[in-house]
Amino acid sequence: MADLQEENAQLQQTIHSHAVIDQAIGVIVAVGKLTPDQGWDILRALSQNTNTKLRHVAEQLIDWARTGGLDQDIHAELDRQLAPHADRSRHPHSGETMKGRDGRRSS
């Protein structure tokens, strides 16, 4: 019985983690006007290049979308990852970073 409860708890955690990662990919897709596959690649790169667990990066991106605050290292890496995808001729705002509620760039 204890094994089943532990397995159930692990499955619930996996489902929650997957949802957080999917939401973070959505944030990247919206900000960068990218495909979901590109969003996934950028999320992985953010994790690897900042030496931060993928789930933690995903949680921070979701919080950033809601609050406008993002860790400086992750924000700088996100800008670096999005830069090659910016197509200012078709999407004049694709190179912009998300701004906070006060209109200033989040850090």
Express each pLDDT in 89-103 by its tens digit: 344 444 444 444 444
pLDDT at 106: 46
Q: How far is CA 9 from CA 13, 58, 59, in A?
A: 6, 21, 20
CA atoms lying within 13 Å on the CB side of residue 46: 30
Q: Which residue has the higher pLDDT, 98 or 6?
A: 6
At 10-21, the pLDDT tens digits run 767 777 788 999
